[in-house]
Chains A and B, each alone.
Chain A
């Protein structure tokens, strides 16, 4: 039974490696060629190409954390204490920066500045 488990473990590692490599190849090819129908179309203030990059990267992060860092074998409590904290804090930070950054961008673009802030 130990053998079956370990053979499974090795197989899983190779499978995840192949998935990660494929995701990276897709990202790199898209990054080099930047097809216009993705690069020039916008969705929620960002072009589709960037959306694809970010989604693929998060997907890679999921595989690295679950399979390589063995989070899939840990208790749910430990998983949530790490992933939940990261998602909450990073989302919060990005949310604030996007809103405030948008405000500052509009000020620089449209208004007259009385002082450089």
Chain B
């Protein structure tokens, strides 16, 4: 189908975009790559009265690096991360995740900030950024505030972002050179959304151990017991399986069926195996 009618505006600054969004009183949406939003509009599942195109805003195109972290503008595309055209804080994890996301034609347009802000439960970036301990800087009419990516999504397509706020950039702490990571996306076809998504990060030098599950019937799910098992080596497969099972048990609100439960456990165990060869 075709999208229903709407008005379109391309502001020249992020401040102007925030103003337009606030004035839109819930009827306006920002669009960057539009690779999810335009699909939802074509399917008539979304019908904003006003689209505010932020794809070309210079403020969102930044990619900077300091000693501790890399900061990526919200408008950085998946393909830029895939190709290494922006600095990598993650020892290759982010490029690997980008490559698994949709198809090249989607990755050329879709943005990391858009993925985080939309909070599709099966999307790659919300889980990866949570596992990396990233923080999003968001701009509203009252100024900037910082939000941890872990906890940024509060549910399915629900986030802590207020109606008049826009994700401006994401600051991602660097992993140590000898850090290891695991990334396993299970999907029935290359490029489709995940049915299970496990991200494991083990950075012994910094004492950072984190396993996060995506495609988890809601926001990314931090697996606390599994993360602790990873910190103490992670090599014992039975102990790790029990830890993951216990984490899943405690997430009763996600209502995993047996099939999903199995997929999640398999994804996590495979990701852990990549960390602890």
User: Real complex partners, A and B?
Assistant: no
Interface residues of A (CB under 8 A from B): none
Interface residues of B (CB under 8 A from A): none
